[in-house]
Structures are given as C-alpha cells and as structure tokens.
Structure 1
Amino acid sequence: MLFPQIRLESTFAQTELAIRKPIQEIQQPKAEMTFEQPKAELTIDRTPSRLSIDQTKAREDMDLKSVGRRIEEAAQQGYQDWLEGLARVAQDGNEMMRIEHGGSAIARQAKRNSEGPQDQFNIGWTPSHFSVKIDYDPGKVEIRFKENRPNIQVQTNKPIHEYTPGSTEVNLAKYQSLKIDFENLRHVGTGGYEQTI
C-alpha cells in the first residue's frame, strides 16, 4: 500500500560581503634645522724679546777701537800731557830760580828728564772679565680667547595623515527557496472520479 507523501526541499538564503579595507597614509616630513658655528676669536699680542750685546769694552781691551774713540783718547792724552808738561816746566823754572841756594838743580833735572817711567807688568786678561755686557728682555705673549656658541634653529613639521575609512556592502548572493513535491497523493471525487496529484 502506497502512502501519500509530501516532500519539502528548501535552501537557505546566502549573503555575500564586499569589504573594502581602510587606507591609512602617514608621511613625516623631516625637521628643518639650520646650524651656524661662528668662529672662535683668538688674539695674540706679542712683545718681542730683545737681546742687546755691547762688546765695546772688549774691543777696546783688544785695541780694536773705533776712530771716534781713538780721537777722543788722543785728545784727552794730549791735554793730559800738556798739563803735565806745563807742571814740569813750572817746577823746573822754580828750581832754576833758586839755583843760588845750591843743591845742583841742573843735574837733578837732567837725570829726571832722561829717565822714563818704569814699566809695570802683571797678569791680565784680554779682554777683561765682564767686558761684554749682555742685556736680555724676554718679552711677553698675551693670548685672549673667546669662544662663540653655535646657533641652532630647529623647525619641526607635523605629520601628514590621510585616512580613508573602509566599508562593507552586504548583498544577497542566493535567495532562499522551498520546493514542495507530492508523492502517491490522489484526489478521489464523487462519482468515482480519481486523480493523481
């Protein structure tokens, strides 16, 4: 015996998602920096050293005199000799004026005028000690230094930020469905009428 059957076949609806991702762009411009370093200032004041050597006395000790010095010495010696000669002549004249008192003045004068001064000799140094005079001034050096600090200027730049938000679209990819099927289903009407559904 065949029983009537009703068959139902259904499918669910299906959705689809269209996703657009967000876009984010960040740019960081570099900072702008200016840097200046002024030069340091250095001043040096120098008084040069001075060395003076006077060897006039040493040269005179070695009889290496200048012409001016020789003329000066000759003039002084001539004046001294003139004074000594004048004194000698005056002394001789005084002795001759008193010749009547006796004492043989002529013999004494002759002996005195014929003998020269006695030469003297002693150990000496040529040139003499400390005859070269040295004078030394070491001079001075004064250093002044001034440092200048660097001049730094920095300008920061803000980041550039661009953002595009994402989106999601929901669509129906497949609609739901319901399929009904009958099996062994009959309709019996009046008068013996029968029909298969």
Structure 2
Amino acid sequence: MQFPQIRMQSQMALVGINSTQGKQTIQQPEAELSIQQPKAEVMINRRPPRLTIDQSQAWSDMGLYGALEATERNAQEGEQAWLQSIAKKSQEGDQLMKIEQDGNPIASISKNNAYEPMKEFNVGWIPSHFSVKTDYDPGELNINVKRNEPIIQAQPQKPVINYERGQVETYLRQENDLQIDVEI
C-alpha cells in the first residue's frame, strides 16, 4: 500500500544591502604666531684709562728745561754770577787799596784774569735712575644689560571637520517561498 507523500520545497528570503561609506575630512589650519624680540638695552659707562709720564726730572738731569724753569735758572745763575763778580771786584779793589803792603797786587790780579779756568766735561746727558715717573690709572668700565623678554602672541585655529554621512539601503533580494506537493 502506498501512502501519500508530502513533498515540501522551500526557498529562503535573501536580504540585499547597498551601502555608501561616510566621508570625513579634517583640516588643521596653522596657528597665527607672532614673535617679537625687543633689543636688549645695553648701557656702557667708562672712565678711560690714563697713563701719566713725568719726564721733567730726566730732562732736568740732561740740562734741558722748560721755558719757565730755564728762565728761572738763568736768572738765578745770572744773579749768582753778578754777586760773584761784585765779590771779586771788591776783593781786587781791597788788594789795590793795600798796594803799599808787600806783594804786587796788579800782577796778581792780571795773572788771575788772564786765563779762564779749565772747563770740566762730564757726560751730562744721562738722566739719573728712576727720573722718569709713570703713573697708570686703569680706568673703569661698567656694562649694564637689560634683556627684554620676547613678545609671543599665538592665535590657535580650530580644526575644520567635514563629515558626509554614509547610507545603508536594505532591500529584499529574493522572496521566501514554500511549495508543498502531495503525491499519491
């Protein structure tokens, strides 16, 4: 005996998906930056060095004098020579006044005046030791520096973000189906 048979044939539903991806762009503009560096303020105060050389003693030792000193020395030497001349003439006068005493004063005076005394020569142009005096003042130097801080101004920029949304679309690509057959 044959039994009836049921035959089933099914087909599942299929879902289809169409999607477009989202897009995102990010741009970061550069920050606006301003840097200024003021110059440092430098102040220099100085007292210049000073070198003093006094060689008047050396010149004096060599017989070379300045105008004022030479005039003064010549005046003193002239006065001294004048006083010596007066003393000599006075002495010669005293000798002549006493002519009656023994001796021959005229011959003696003539003999003394006939010849000049021998001149002495000595190396007189070498100055004495340490006759040149020096004095040195090194001066002074003061440097003051005032540094100025840099002026920095920064303006940050916000990022520019663009976003396009993606889409997802679903649809039924294949419908479900069920077929039932009965066979005898």
CA-CA distance at 1:125 after TM superposition: 11
Match of 1:164 in 2: 164
Structure 1 residues 58 and 170: alpha-carbon distance in aligned structure 2, compared to 1, 3 A threshold = same
Q: Is 1:61 the equivalent of 2:58?
A: no
CA-CA distance at 1:143 after TM superposition: 1.1
Give the distance between the partners of 2:47 and 2:181, measured in 1 at CA: 127
CA-CA distance at 1:45 after TM superposition: 2.7
Question: 2:62, 2:125 within 8 Å by CA — same for their partners in 1?
Answer: no
Q: How many residues align?
A: 179
Q: Is 1:173 the equivalent of 2:163?
A: no
Q: For 1:34-87, what per-residue CA distance to the aligned partner results, in whole angstroms no more than 9, with x for missing partners?
A: 222222222323322121222232133233x15845555333312221133335
Structure 1 residues 166 and 71: alpha-carbon distance in aligned structure 2, compared to 1, 3 A threshold = same
Structure 1, unmatched stretches of 5+, are 118-123, 185-197
Q: Is 1:31 the equivalent of 2:31?
A: yes
Structure ID, larger Rg: 1
Give the distance between the partners of 1:58 and 1:95, measured in 2 at CA: 45
Q: Is 1:4 the equivalent of 2:4?
A: yes
Structure 2, unmatched stretches of 5+, are 118-123
Over the matched positions of the two proteins, sequence identity in percent amounts to: 44
Give the distance between the partners of 1:85 and 1:50, measured in 2 at CA: 49
SS of the residue corresponding to residue 19 of structure 2 reads: strand
| Code of the aligned partner of 2:154 | V
Higher RCO (CA-CA < 8 Å; seq separation 6+): 2
Match of 1:187 in 2: none
Within a 5 Å distance, the mapping from 1:48-127 to structure 2 comes to 48-63=48-63, 65-66=64-65, 68=67, 70=70, 72-89=72-89, 114=112, 126-127=126-127
Give the distance between the partners of 1:17 and 1:148, measured in 2 at CA: 68
| Code of the aligned partner of 1:157 | Q
SS of the residue corresponding to residue 8 of structure 1 reads: strand
Q: Give the root-mean-square deviation of aligned CA atoms.
A: 3.9
TM-score normalised per structure 2: 0.71
Structure 1 residues 53 and 103: alpha-carbon distance in aligned structure 2, compared to 1, 3 A threshold = farther
| Code of the aligned partner of 1:173 | R
Moved over 6 A (4+): 94-97
